[in-house]
């Protein structure tokens, strides 16, 4: 290497180190501060918080405030002969319709409309059963908590199997998605039992947002052809790839939430030493 070449290389190394130092010491702190002030704090401000029997529920989902307004308007107008148990059953029927829509949509795309209809019915039943009981002051804290979450778990399994047995998604990816969703739900339930706070969403996404995403996916399925791509000797559709990315996001969310929660609980526990 020539003398000029050595000088150029030294300049490049110096410049790289200087850029790295500027980035780590000046730019990164600014980005962190902006995220904290404009994203994390806004999530807390916009979060819907309310007492749910003996614990506090927190929903930071995009549709949280709209959904609460809808509950305030609709609950007083639900006929007296319909109770929260009826709504729970209606919600589960909705998820059966959704699963049937995925399976039947494999042969006739018009049946994909059942996915959207089923998810809307599921949203109504699942979102309003507890709200109706609280509005009428007829809550059953232990029964309601047990039934709500066992039916939710069963609904996720049914929806996952329905999607997996369609021609749009591999069954293994569908079951992985179900497993990760149940892992996230378990994390939330355990945290509720420890801190008496129930998180209905992760960041901007909650159950309602997931229903909207799946509904939009069904619309895309209706208008789009299925394409396949070879990946590691296996054939994957665009839906497989999208769900695989979703699974990765869910896994990262679960692991980071687990680590963050574990650290916070450890700090609280050692204060008692």
Residue 72: inside a domain: yes
Residue 17: inside a domain: no
pLDDT for 61: 81
Those residues with Cβ within 8 angstroms of residue 79's Cβ, 6 or more apart along the chain or in another chain: none
Number of domains in the chain: 1
Residue 207: inside a domain: yes
165, 104 Cβ separation under 8 angstroms? no
pLDDT in tens, 204-252: 788 899 999 999 999 999 999 989 888 888 889 999 999 999 999 999 9
Residue 51: inside a domain: no
pLDDT in tens, 132-171: 999 999 999 899 989 999 999 999 999 999 999 999 999 9
pLDDT in tens, 61-95: 888 889 899 999 999 999 999 999 999 999 999 99
The CATH number for 117's domain is: 1.20.120.1760
Residue 94: inside a domain: yes
179 vs 55 pLDDT, higher one: 179
pLDDT for 62: 86
Range of the domain at 102: 57-270
3 vs 183 pLDDT, higher one: 183
For the cut 50, the answer to whether the pLDDT of residue 43 exceeds it is: no
CA–CA separation, 209 vs 101, rounded Å?
19
Residue 168: inside a domain: yes
Residue 115: inside a domain: yes
For the whole model, what pTM was predicted?
0.76
How many angstroms separate the Cα of 145 from the Cα of each of 71, 140, 235?
19, 8, 42
Residue 129: inside a domain: yes
CA–CA separation, 131 vs 35, rounded Å?
33
């Amino acid at each position: 290497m020539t003398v000029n070449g050595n000088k150029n290389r030294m300049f490049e190394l110096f410049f790289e180190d200087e850029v790295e130092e500027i980035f780590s010491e000046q730019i990164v702190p600014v980005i962190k501060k902006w995220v904290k002030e404009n994203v994390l704090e806004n999530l807390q401000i916009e979060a819907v918080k309310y007492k749910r029997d003996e614990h506090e529920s927190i929903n930071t989902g995009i549709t949280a405030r709209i959904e609460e307004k809808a509950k305030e308007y609709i609950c007083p107008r639900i006929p007296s002969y319909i109770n929260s148990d009826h709504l729970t059953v209606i919600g589960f029927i909705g998820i059966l319709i959704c699963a049937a829509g995925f399976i039947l949509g494999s042969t006739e795309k018009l049946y994909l409309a059942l996915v959207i209809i089923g998810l809307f019915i599921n949203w109504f039943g699942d979102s309003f059963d507890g709200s109706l009981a609280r509005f009428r002051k007829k809550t059953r804290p232990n029964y309601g908590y047990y039934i709500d979450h066992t039916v939710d778990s069963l609904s996720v399994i049914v929806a996952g199997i329905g999607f997996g047995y369609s021609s749009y998604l591999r069954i293994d990816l569908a079951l992985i998605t179900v497993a990760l969703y149940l892992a996230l739900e378990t994390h939330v339930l355990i945290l509720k039992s420890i801190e008496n706070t129930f998180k209905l969403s992760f960041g901007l996404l909650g159950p309602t947002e997931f229903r909207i995403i799946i509904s939009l996916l069904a619309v895309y399925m209706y208008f789009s052809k299925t394409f396949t791509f070879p990946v590691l000797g296996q054939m994957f559709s665009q839906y497989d790839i999208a769900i695989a990315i979703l699974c990765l996001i869910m896994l990262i969310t679960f692991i980071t939430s687990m680590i963050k929660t574990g650290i916070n609980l450890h700090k609280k526990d050692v204060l008692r030493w």
